[in-house]
Structure 1
Amino acid sequence: MLSFAYPWVLALIALPLLANARKRPAPAVEAPVLPTGHWLSDLPGVSRSGSRNSLLKQLLLLLIWILLVTALARPQYVGEQVQLPVTGRDLLLAVDISPSMDEQDMVVQGRSINRLQAVKRVLHDFIERRQGDRLGLLLFGTEPYIQAPLTFDLNTVRTLLDESGIGMAGRATAIGDAIGLAIKRLRDRPQQQRVVILLTDGANTAGEIPPDKAAEIAKAAGVRIYTIGIGAESMIQRGLLGSRRVNPSRDLDEGLLTRMAQQTGGQYFRARSLPELEQIYQSIDQLEPIELEGKRYRPVTELYVWPAGLAVLIWLAWQLGRALILARANGARREEADNG
């Protein structure tokens, strides 16, 4: 529906009418309309269309005034009531980007890709389904850092994840420091909403905070940690002396990841392939939804630019018309002077 933010401003429309009503009207002398070229038309004060021009000017000024006052009243179109989806969760994704994530043991459509590429593919859909949640992105290697703070802007989180690269945070894996930074970011949020999803393919090899101590601090702070260990358990490695079967996940510390998850009330998942990783995120997608009363709002479209713009266009057209008439009159005078 159409409404005005400041409807009382519309009372100003009557000001010009009140001002004209208070003026004492001067005695009007009706003059005949003179034909073009009449000898009286050149006398000072005599105009063939003066009264008509004056009336047109007053009407244009009144119209411009009405349009400007209408714009000042801020006309708005108020749409139908919309309910925002709210689940009330703050999810912080902690992704390992150490060099071991470059291991190409994930397969998609018959083609091998590295672990970080697999994580990005799966997280795209996961992020897309986070409507109503605030999502953050933490990347870690030797050092952890916040790539995207907690936000409802899911497109930005997805873009920043795509821009992350192997080795950007160093060549080691500081799991404990990553959890410590995550706790720092989540500690001011409501206790029922603090969730960390940690994804790594190795063991803790760097950092100042031991992972078990970080898990203890997380439990005290009410932060739940869901851990994911990524990496195939078997793959064929080709060399100069032939092929051999190796375990590319031999450095994965599953015991540590399991303890951290259990201690904080979370869960440990093992992703040996891309389909398993997809299934894990589908499971996490359903974890602990906290349904809150949805916020309602009515979308408002501001319309004041239309009357304001129309007033400006009318004023410019009027000034342009006056300039053309004056230019034509000056040209006619010069032509008469030249002929005379």
Structure 2
Amino acid sequence: MTFAQPQWLWLLALVPILALVRWWRARRRGGDLLFSSAALVEAAPATLWIRLRGLPFALRLAVLTLGILALARPQERQVFEKRTVEGRDLMLVLDLSSSMLAQDFSPSRFEVARRTAIQFVQGRRADRIGLVVFAGQAFTQVPPTLDYRFLLTMLQRLQVGRLEDGTAIGTAIATAINRLKNSEARSKVIILLTDGQNNRGEIDPLTAAELARQAGIRIYTIGLSGRGEAPYPVQTPFGTRPQPVPVEIDEAMMREVAEKTGGRYFRATDARTLEAIYAEIDRLEKSPVAVTRYETARERYAIFLGPALLLLLLEVILRTTRLRRLVVT
């Protein structure tokens, strides 16, 4: 064990100094009560509580010592932990095409999809999760990881319009497959969310689904949009104005992609339905996953701070009850 801030340890020198001052003051004072003659009390037996009258001060010195050690931030270096937990490998595949700005969801399809994905990630404990984004092309934003903080940061930074426009569903699936195909987890899942039809890329979605099936990967597809027409923000000489555009989701293709791999197709027409879909997907079969965690330092101040608080409480109780001191004037 090492100390991250060892300069605080110099304060330990106060402990013997305070003990010495206490002893010197007791010797100088000579006693707690003044009598004209000590003959009356010399023969009185010394009870256990009388013998323990210095215990509150000793406890206070112990509290001070433990508190100083906690301030010095004791740390255990090079912590290596390997354990097996219930989990699965997941790839979130999110559509970032311009149609995701449609406002049949409030404030937009994209914002609702991102918010729901963030809530889904926040509920994970042992699943390795990655992120693929796509429009006219697809790329891996985050490989499968247990670093949920980093994944949430990347989800919050997503923006529509940074990729060439289009909807390359097949390419997006193939990109996610490449991230999962070598996984040792028995449960490997792709969650694909889109609001359109495949119109870009060199890989057909059904071909990509067949590759997923051969790799033992299940695909769950989610169609995100309302029905009929949806308001879409269009730039005009008078500012941005919503204009109705038709909803174009290839549900037959999405359903076939999911069923080919043993997954399911869902249609989300509002935010609440989308949340329910993620909750249902969360009930997938889990399988054991080996999780390895390595830390350069683990804080251990609690092993000193905890006992210090308990001793302080004991000192207060004794000083206010059986070992309470009375001042006689």
Range class of TM-score, shorter chain: 0.5 to 0.7
Partners in 2 of 1:263 and 1:187 — Cα distance? 17
1:133 equivalent in alignment to 2:127: yes
Q: CA shift at 1:185, angstroms?
A: 0.9
Partner residue, 1:184: 178
Partner residue, 1:147: 141
Q: 2:261 aligns with which of 245, 260, 264?
A: 264
1:194 equivalent in alignment to 2:188: yes
Change (3 A) 1:131 1:236: closer
Higher relative contact order (CA 8 A, sep 6+): 2
SS at match of 1:229: strand
Q: Identity percentage over the alignment?
A: 40
Partner residue, 1:255: 252
Gapped regions of structure 1 (runs ≥ 5): 4-74, 107-111, 240-244, 304-340
- Whichever structure has more strand as a proportion of its residues is 2
Q: Does the CA-based 8 Å contact 1:96-1:140 persist in structure 2?
A: yes
Partners in 2 of 1:236 and 1:260 — Cα distance? 25
Gapped regions of structure 2 (runs ≥ 5): 3-73, 235-242, 302-329
Cα deviation code 1:271-314 (max 9, x no counterpart): 000010010011111111224588899995479xxxxxxxxxxx
Aligned residue identity for 1:268: Y
Partners in 1 of 2:190 and 2:163 — Cα distance? 19
Q: Does the CA-based 8 Å contact 1:176-1:210 persist in structure 2?
A: yes
Q: Does the CA-based 8 Å contact 2:167-2:200 persist in structure 1?
A: yes
Partners in 1 of 2:216 and 2:197 — Cα distance? 24
Partners in 2 of 1:237 and 1:282 — Cα distance? 28
Partner residue, 1:214: 208
Partner residue, 1:96: 95
Q: CA shift at 1:88, angstroms?
A: 2.8
Q: CA shift at 1:167, angstroms?
A: 2.2
Q: CA shift at 1:193, angstroms?
A: 2.7
Q: Does the CA-based 8 Å contact 2:88-2:185 persist in structure 1?
A: no
The alignment's TM-score, normalised by the length of structure 2, stands at: 0.59
Partner residue, 2:276: 279
Q: CA shift at 1:215, angstroms?
A: 0.6
Q: CA shift at 1:201, angstroms?
A: 0.3
Partner residue, 2:164: 170
Aligned Cα RMSD in Å? Answer: 3.3
Partners in 2 of 1:163 and 1:175 — Cα distance? 22
The alignment's TM-score, normalised by the length of structure 1, stands at: 0.57
Aligned residue identity for 2:119: D
SS at match of 2:87: coil
Aligned residue identity for 2:102: E
